[in-house]
Amino acid sequence: MALRKILTEEDETLKKKSRPVTEVTDRIRSILDDMAETMHEANGVGLAAPQVGILRRMFVVQVDEDHLYELINPEIVESDGDQYGEEGCLSVPGYVGMVHRAEYVRIKGLDRNGQPVEYEGEGLLARAFQHEYDHLDGILYTQKADDIHFAESGEEEEE
């Protein structure tokens, strides 16, 4: 595993749409491992491949100690409700903003072994899934946020 450089918002790579992963290989698994390590080192709860300069449709999310979600070629298949809350992003360091998201999502994709998986999330997990999914389409939370401001120490909830 290796730490990867997290791109920041001025990098044009973050504005591009990612391509699907055509085959889940050892290289893809290695990238997922690097992404998880990089996310943990940066104290984030999610990291999408474009944030480390790889335009492939995959991301990692971990909102608690119990489960690391790794999704390849994810697709949000259901969403419901509304939540309005603060978000940050490892690619927009030091800032947060208020974003509307669905309160509940169901998402499917492939796991690290290329097997189909499906997850449901509410609250923070749903927010993280949607935030990372947006990255795959070249969308930063700042394009959806209100009241973007510098985060006071300890206030940031980075994704």
DSSP H helices in 15-83: 26-41
Count of residues for the chain?
Answer: 159
Kindly write down the DSSP assignment for every residue of 90-151, as one continuous string: TTEEEEEEEEEE-SEEEEEEE-TTS-EEEEEEETHHHHHHHHHHHHHTT--GGGT-EEEEEP
Query: Exposed, middle or buried: residue 151 (CB in 10 Å: 0-12, 13-18, 19+)?
Result: middle
Q: What is the pLDDT of residues 100-139, one digit of tens each?
A: 999 999 999 999 999 999 999 999 999 999 999 999 999 9
Confidence at residue 153, expressed as pLDDT on a 0 to 100 scale: 59
Distance CA 9, CA 90 (A): 9
Residues 44 and 159: beta-carbon distance below 8 Å: yes
Q: Is 132 a catalytic residue?
A: yes
Report pTM. Answer: 0.94
Identified catalytic residue from 87, 132, 156, 159: 132
The label of the residue with tokens 């749409």 reads: 17
Q: Across all residues in the chain, what is the average pLDDT?
A: 95
3-state secondary structure of 158: strand
Structural domains in the chain plus CATH codes? 12-150 (3.90.45.10)
